[in-house]
Every structure is written in C-alpha cells, then in structure tokens.
C-alpha cells in the first residue's frame, strides 16, 4: 500500500484558474489538472492507494468554506482514496471552535502555510493554533522553508520552527519539502530529535520548467541530488519520513521514482511509503479509505 501524504486538489470550477495563477508564480509545470479526477488518474498511473489533500486558506474569510469542502471530500474517500485535512489561518477569530468542528467531523489534521499566510511560524497566532491541535491530538502539516512563488520571503525557517516547538512542546508536526525547501542543511542540523516528520515533496532531482519562456538557469532548477536527500532523511530518520509529492506541483510517479533511487533498505522504503503515515494517522491498513481499482 502507498500513501501520498501531501497533495492538492481544487473544486472543478476554479481548478484551471488556480493552476494558472500558481503556474505563473512558479514558472513550473503542474503534473495534473488540479481536480479530484486529475488526482485520481495520477494515483492510478502511479499505483497510489490513498492521497491526503492539504488545503490552504490564503485569508481568514475562506477558512470555514474550505473546511466545509474538505469534510465533503472525505465523505467520498471510501471510493476515491482521497482524504482531506482541514485548513486554518492565523487571523481567523475563533480557531478553537473551528478546529473542534474539524475534529468532530473526523478530520485528522490541519494544513498551515506561513509563506502564503504572511505570518512567521513562531508568531503567537500560530502558537495558539498549534496548542489547540496539540490538545485535540490533530496532525499539523506546514509548508517549511522557502517558497518557489515568493522568492526571498521567509516565514517558516528552521529557527522559527524550533522556537515554536520549544514554546508549544510535543506535537504531531509534519514539515513539508524535506524539512525546509532550499534550506535543507539548516533544517537537518536544527530540527531532528524532536519527533518531527518530514515529507519528500519537491526536494529531489530538479524542477520542471513551465514552458512559459521564463529564463531558468540550470543551477536554479536543481534540487537535492540523491546523496543530499538521503542525508536529510537519515538526519530526521526513515521512521519520520513520509512519502509526499505535492501533486499537482510534483508528479506522484516521478517522486516515487526519485525515492526509489535512494539507498534505503526495503523496510525503510515501506515505512516511508506507508507505515509511518498509518502510525501518524492512527489507522490500520484495513481502515484506510483507498482508491477503487479498475
Ligand atoms: Zn503543498
């Protein structure tokens, strides 16, 4: 069984608009059309059983609406194999009530994006959200490190993550993009040993240019080579690494292939592809909503 811990989908009527916007900010090519159907096709091709969707609220007014949609996505999870986290925004006024609503609806965690949300991760508004999730035993997945669409904007540095963890205490926190996008060594030196998880999304190999004429330099396209990626996984531990593609921004099949190249044992690969995710979600394999195979 394979679980992709980090994907995105958009409602059909706004998917192409959302993809265009993010495409023009990142100058990279998406690997699906951003819809639920597109993700299902990608899962079928890559033989992935379950994908977790990580919705982002870019302003506080979207929070309840996006969470309503996440709860609806989860109703279909039994045959789509697509299961959504909820979202939260640091400026949302009643985080306690809204996060409790997610918990009661069976949602397993919350996605936060300090760069898109424009707030430092160790800001009191995030700490409040983290404390609520900690009490309710919810998972938190954050975008960590730099963001391709916001060059030079720093809101999720390893130092900020360390400050937040010191303030809040033990938390089921997943750091996307191998601990900190394009700040991998910094993350790997400051953050291991606190029980934090990393996901493998958009960190190995190289970026795929969007074909929009943006003058990419070869060294700008390069992400981590195999030795660097392996060193980061070893720093956080194969037992704290989750397979994630960030589909549609990363390819599911392509990320699987990149992971497969690394010199990990078969047992470690199994953990990264499935059992770490099951443990974190508190699910047994037979309880998982998986894709219907045809
Ligand atoms: Zn993402």
Q: Is residue 139 pLDDT above 90, yes or no?
A: yes
pTM of the model: 0.96
CA of 149 to the centre of ligand 1 (A): 12
Paired strand residues for 222: 206
CA of 194 to the centre of ligand 1 (A): 23
107-131 pLDDT, tens digit per residue, is: 999 999 999 999 999 999 999 999 9
- Mean pLDDT, residues 8-29 taken together: 90
CA of 266 to the centre of ligand 1 (A): 27
CA torsion through residues 32, 36, 37, 43, sign: positive
- Pick from 284, 292, 277: which is nearest to 78 by CA? 292
Give the CB-side neighbour count of residue 243, counting CA atoms within 13 A. 29
CA of 248 to the centre of ligand 1 (A): 9
pLDDT band for 199, please (50, 70, 90 cuts): very high
What pLDDT, on the 0 to 100 scale, is given for residue 294?
Answer: 66
73-92 pLDDT, tens digit per residue, is: 999 999 999 999 999 999 99
- Which are the contacts of 163, defined by CB distance < 8 A and separation ≥ 6? 121, 122
CA of 245 to the centre of ligand 1 (A): 8
Location of structure tokens 């949302």: 92
What pLDDT, on the 0 to 100 scale, is given for residue 218?
Answer: 84
Q: Is the distance from CB of 168 to CB of 122 less than 8 angstroms?
A: no
CA of 85 to the centre of ligand 1 (A): 12
pLDDT band for 219, please (50, 70, 90 cuts): confident
What's phi and psi for 261, nearest 5 deg?
A: -70, -25
What's phi and psi for 33, nearest 5 deg?
A: -85, 5
223-237 pLDDT, tens digit per residue, is: 999 999 999 999 999
CA–CA separation, 158 vs 116, rounded Å?
Answer: 17
Q: Is the distance from CB of 181 to CB of 209 less than 8 angstroms?
A: no
What pLDDT, on the 0 to 100 scale, is given for residue 60?
Answer: 98
CA of 77 to the centre of ligand 1 (A): 20
- Pick from 249, 148, 232, 227: which is nearest to 196 by CA? 232
DSSP assignment of 23-72 equals: HHHH-B--SS-SSHHHHHHHHHHHT-SEEEE----SSGGGHHHHHHHHHH
């Amino acid at each position: 069984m394979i679980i992709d811990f980090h994907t995105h989908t958009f409602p059909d009527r706004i998917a192409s608009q959302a993809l265009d916007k993010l495409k023009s900010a990142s100058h990279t090519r998406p690997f699906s059309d951003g819809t639920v159907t597109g993700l299902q096709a990608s899962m079928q091709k890559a033989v992935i059983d379950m994908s977790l969707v990580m919705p982002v609220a870019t302003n506080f007014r979207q929070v309840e609406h996006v969470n309503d949609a996440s709860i609806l996505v989860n109703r279909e999870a039994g045959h789509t194999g697509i299961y959504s986290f909820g979202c939260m925004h640091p400026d949302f006024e009643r985080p306690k009530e809204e996060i409790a609503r997610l918990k009661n609806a069976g949602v397993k965690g919350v996605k936060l994006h300090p760069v898109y949300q424009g707030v430092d991760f160790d800001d009191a508004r995030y700490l409040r959200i983290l404390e609520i999730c900690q009490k309710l035993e919810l998972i938190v997945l954050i975008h960590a490190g730099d963001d391709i669409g916001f060059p030079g904007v720093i809101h999720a540095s390893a130092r900020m993550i360390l400050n937040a963890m010191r303030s809040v205490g033990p938390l089921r926190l997943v750091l996307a993009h191998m601990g900190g996008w394009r700040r991998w060594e910094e993350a790997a030196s400051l953050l291991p040993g606190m029980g934090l998880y990393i996901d493998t999304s958009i960190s190995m190999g190289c970026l795929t240019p969007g074909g929009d004429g943006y003058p990419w330099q070869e060294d700008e396209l390069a992400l981590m080579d195999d030795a660097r990626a392996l060193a980061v996984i070893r720093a956080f531990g194969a037992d704290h690494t989750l397979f994630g593609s960030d589909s549609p921004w990363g390819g599911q099949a392509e990320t699987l292939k990149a992971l497969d190249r690394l010199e990990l044992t078969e047992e470690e690969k199994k953990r990264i592809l499935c059992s770490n995710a099951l443990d974190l979600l508190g699910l047994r394999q037979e309880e998982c909503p998986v894709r219907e195979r045809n």
